[in-house]
Chains A and B, each alone.
Chain A
Amino acid sequence: GAGVSQSPRYKVAKRGQDVALRCDPISGHVSLFWYQQALGQGPEFLTYFQNEAQLDKSGLPSDRFFAERPEGSVSTLKIQRTQQEDSAVYLCASSLEKVTEAFFGQGTRLTVV
């Protein structure tokens, strides 16, 4: 596709439910990033992939958060046993080899009730 695509756009989960958020990066982009954006805040870094390798996961808030990119293209962010504080917009971005310009998707708005 022409841009970064994220699905679903909106997700409502009951507390304790597991969720999976998908990101389709721009074709050929080596780098892929996940960010969490709470209401009224700037995006907070979660994790970074170069191809299929997860090079930085220092921003993942707990072991309930897990990300993968098995074939170096599509990525999935999984949140287990969701809690209310997980409610946020999750943004995915991709770029060519170095971050001189990262392209963002429209995000997935997760609401945990």
Chain B
Amino acid sequence: AQSVTQLGSHVSVSEGALVLLRCNYSSSVPPYLFWYVQYPNQGLQLLLKYTSAATLVKGINGFEAEFKKSETSFHLTKPSAHMSDAAEYFCAVSVPRYSSASKIIFGSGTRLSIRP
């Protein structure tokens, strides 16, 4: 079975500072990995995805994540935080299948706050 663990339910950084949100996964087969962002009273928006191509994945809004198989990690980073980045962030995993889609398993989320 697959799972993800997000370290830190709440992260607070100053505007302009580095953002680092941690995610570790567990999967018996090579997984697909995702980061989603959720703003209040909204659905989830895909930030970026890893699908077994390049290990450094660039997403929207200046975010990127690096797949590290040896560490089973997929941490999300952004060099300089902006006030608009304040939201809930979810790491997620799925197992690719050839004949059908596969459910996405989400972590419990990390709330990112930005200090002026």
Contact surface of A with B, Cβ cutoff 8 Å: 4, 30-31, 33, 35, 40-45, 48, 50, 55-56, 59, 91, 93, 95, 97-107, 109
| In the complex, residue of chain A having the shortest beta-carbon distance to the beta carbon of B94 | A99
- In the complex, B35 has a CB within 8 A of chain A: no
Q: Is the pair A106, B101 in contact by a Cβ cutoff of 8 Å? A: no
The CA of A55 and the CA of B90, in the complex, are separated in Å by 25
B-side interface mostly: loop
Task: Give the residue name and chain of the B residue nearest to A47 (CB).
Answer: B103
Chain B residues near A4 (CB, 8 Å)?
43
CA distance A93 to B36 in the complex (A): 13
Other-chain contact of A97, B36, B101, B108 (Cβ < 8 Å): B101
Nearest A residue (CB) for B111: A40
- Measured in the bound complex, the distance between the Cα atoms of B45 and A8 in whole Å is 20
Chain A residues lying within 8 Å of B96, measured Cβ to Cβ, are 98-100
Tell whether, in the assembled complex, residue B44 and residue A45 are in contact, meaning their CB atoms are under 8 Å apart. Answer: no
